[in-house]
Structure 1
Amino acid sequence: MSTSTSARTGAAQGRFDHRMAVFGSDDGFVATALPFLAEGLAAAGEPPPVAIAAPGLLAALRDGLGADAKEVGFIDHADWYTGTAANAVAQGAGYLAAHTGPGGRVHLLMEPDWAGRAGRSARESVEWIRYECLANLLFAPFATTALCAYDTRTAGPAVVDAARRAHPGTGVYEQPPVLVRELDAVPLSPPPRAVTRLAAAESVRAWSAEQGLAAADAELFARAVVAAAAAHGPVVDFVAWGEAPSCVCELRLCRAVADPLAGFVPPRGGEPGPGQGLWFTRQVCAYVDVRDGVAGDGARIRVQYA
């Protein structure tokens, strides 16, 4: 049985329309997808709608569409949701820039890959819920209509419940800053007793190479830490621990990182501008955790390479 948690039809001009649907079978997915794609096909001035989902679901959808299948784009969600949640932001922004109509108009049916990286751990799942939440701010200027399809066979009840809070129109939607603050209230694991204090961000290169990172990876990791420090310094202390590939560097800061979108806003022209260094950090590192200081603990950015 398929249940859509958003019954709206049509995207408001110049406003991101972020919907959610939940299904538990191939037939349920097709029943959810067909009216949405038909809406996109009927939208004047829009390019063809695109379905991003697991291969088996795309095959079922092709059958359900019949002759209309040739008017719809199909993308394996493992090719779309690659790497981190921040990488997915870059993928989405790049696609909207290159393939949409005026104002970013297009209908995108999107099934997150909960059987892949997104669902492999509770921590990873939190990062993807953060992505869903921040999408409401990141893509607000675009007249894009996105339907996020959640398969209960791969996304468990906790994930679905959390995702409802990240989608307008579900009845339990939370404004992004509220939900992000809640996600960030979860304490980070404490550093191990044996840590290395580094003199500067550039020192990460030599240190991580000593821990077993290949030269190219050590260079990239160091650049990521330098970029974060330049955007949000001055840094009181650099503390590092771990072994390749999971090398960690924690930047202890003089001031809080107040912007919940820090590191998620795609830079114009491809290169981060002033204060956008955390974008590069998020693109190349597996985890970037920002904490603004609670219970007497100082603000910090924790960067883990892999």
Structure 2
Amino acid sequence: MHAPPDQLGPDTFRHDLVLYSSAEELAAVAVPFLRAGLEAGAAAVITTSDPSAAILRDALGDDERVHVLPRGEVYRDRTPAAITAFRRLAERVTGHGHTQLRVVGETWFGRTPREWLEWQRYEAVLNEAMRSWPTWGLCAYDLRQLPDELVDSGLRTHPHLVDAGGRRPNPHFTEPADYLRALPVPDEPLEATEPLLQVDDAKDFAGLRHTVGARLAQLHGSRDALEDLHLAIDEMSANAVRHGGPPVQLRLWASADRVVCRISDGGTGMDDPFAGYGPAHGDDLSHGGMGLWLARQLCDHVDVVDGPDGLSVRLTTLLR
């Protein structure tokens, strides 16, 4: 178990939550938070909805140390890209002499429960992925907009709560690994239908790559998205061979709006809920460990199921 963030040094990630129901409530917490950071030599970033960003920027005045970033630049389509964006921001500001990066951010969860899940995972993963980065994040959750399920998720993934009365430990916080393991793997109705491609014991992987590519080429949709999926399938098939055990199986389904591929192996599995949110060996990519990380960036949804018979990775790409 990690020590609570306020017992750690200034170079350690802090991950706070403010729940608000009006712009005034948000400003009452976020403005003092950013001002205190500026006084301590930190850089300040606001990446929220446009109305919230305008109110906070006006309250802080014309200070060149305050940067307003479009929410879409940070909370991108894929969660690993958002983690990378925050790491690069922290690296950039500390390289320019700032002691810390302070961020007020509003996570963009998407429009459907299936999209929400990726960002619920992200909020938990962030506690581990940013643990040694000099960043203090204040996540703003608008109670007028977010469903109860997402508010509950926020309460479970942020170690501290902040309101106008101050900052305090969050009694609802759940250890990130435990939270991630407890999240459900959503049902995929396509898996109950006849697959477009079924391979029960893959041994010829050059042939498998060609066969998968030929099936994907028959589908209508974004060529870029299908090529990304093809690469992700190839990476996950290679992972199954290197790290899993026989038989390596593959199922591919397609509908008018999405393509789903499940790659399974009969190995001992992998009990690491943080896998794939960064290269396994950090910035030194020569050691490998990129497969699942690439898949999470190339596909809209990646579900990892660690079962008694081995490991399965389900990749989903939307046909936009």
Which residue is 2:296 aligned to? 282
Which residue is 2:126 aligned to? 135
Which residue is 2:272 aligned to? 259
Tell me how far apart the structure 2 counterparts of residues 86 and 274 of structure 1 sit (CA, whole Å): 17
Q: Map 1:142-221; keep pairs closer than 5 Å.
A: 142-169=133-160, 170-183=170-183, 185-186=184-185, 188-189=187-188, 191-195=191-195, 196-198=197-199, 200=205, 202=209, 203-221=211-229
Read off the aligned partner of 1:174 and give its amino acid letter: T
Identify which range, 260-269 or 132-141, moves more after superposition: 260-269
Say which of 226, 248, 252 aligns to 2:234: 226
Q: Does residue 51 of the first structure (1) align with residue 46 of the second (2)?
A: yes
Displacement of 1:13? 2.4
1:49 aligns to what SS in structure 2?
strand
Q: Work out whether residues 225 and 249 of structure 1, in 8 Å CA contact, stay in contact via their aligned partners in 2.
A: yes
1:15 aligns to what SS in structure 2?
coil
Q: Work out whether residues 89 and 101 of structure 2, in 8 Å CA contact, stay in contact via their aligned partners in 1.
A: no
Displacement of 1:59? 1.1
Tell me how far apart the structure 2 counterparts of residues 20 and 28 of structure 1 sit (CA, whole Å): 13
Tell me how far apart the structure 1 counterparts of residues 110 and 294 of structure 2 sit (CA, whole Å): 24
Q: Work out whether residues 292 and 300 of structure 1, in 8 Å CA contact, stay in contact via their aligned partners in 2.
A: yes
Tell me how far apart the structure 2 counterparts of residues 153 and 210 of structure 1 sit (CA, whole Å): 44
Relative to 1, partners in 2 of residues 1:98 and 1:253: Cα closer, same or farther, differing over 3 Å? farther
Identify which range, 210-219 or 79-88, moves more after superposition: 210-219
- Could you list the structure 1 runs, at least 4 aligned residues long, displaced by more than 6 angstroms after superposition: 8-11
Q: Work out whether residues 87 and 133 of structure 2, in 8 Å CA contact, stay in contact via their aligned partners in 1.
A: no
Relative to 1, partners in 2 of residues 1:241 and 1:40: Cα closer, same or farther, differing over 3 Å? same
Unaligned runs of 5+ in 2: 161-169
Identify which range, 126-135 or 242-251, moves more after superposition: 242-251
1:146 aligns to what SS in structure 2?
strand
2:10 aligns to what SS in structure 1?
coil
Unaligned runs of 5+ in 1: 1-7
Which residue is 2:167 aligned to? none
Identify which range, 261-270 or 145-154, moves more after superposition: 261-270
Q: Map 1:11-26; keep pairs closer than 5 Å.
A: 12-26=9-23
1:299 aligns to what SS in structure 2?
strand
Which residue is 2:314 aligned to? 302
Which residue is 2:107 aligned to? 112
1:190-230 deviation digits (Å, cap 9, x = unpaired):
51331121454513222111122454443321111111222
Tell me how far apart the structure 2 counterparts of residues 145 and 268 of structure 1 sit (CA, whole Å): 21
Q: How does the TM-score come out when normalised to structure 2? A: 0.81
Tell me how far apart the structure 1 counterparts of residues 222 and 274 of structure 2 sit (CA, whole Å): 31
Q: How many residues align?
A: 289
Displacement of 1:268? 4.1
Q: How does the TM-score come out when normalised to structure 1? A: 0.85
Tell me how far apart the structure 1 counterparts of residues 51 and 8 of structure 2 sit (CA, whole Å): 28
Tell me how far apart the structure 1 counterparts of residues 235 and 77 of structure 2 sit (CA, whole Å): 20
Provide the alpha-carbon RMSD of the alignment.
2.6
1:35 aligns to what SS in structure 2?
helix
1:139-184 deviation digits (Å, cap 9, x = unpaired):
111121111111112212221111111011311111111001101x
Read off the aligned partner of 1:189 and give its amino acid letter: E
1:78-121 deviation digits (Å, cap 9, x = unpaired):
232120223222222232333335798211111112xxxx1411
Displacement of 1:297? 6.0
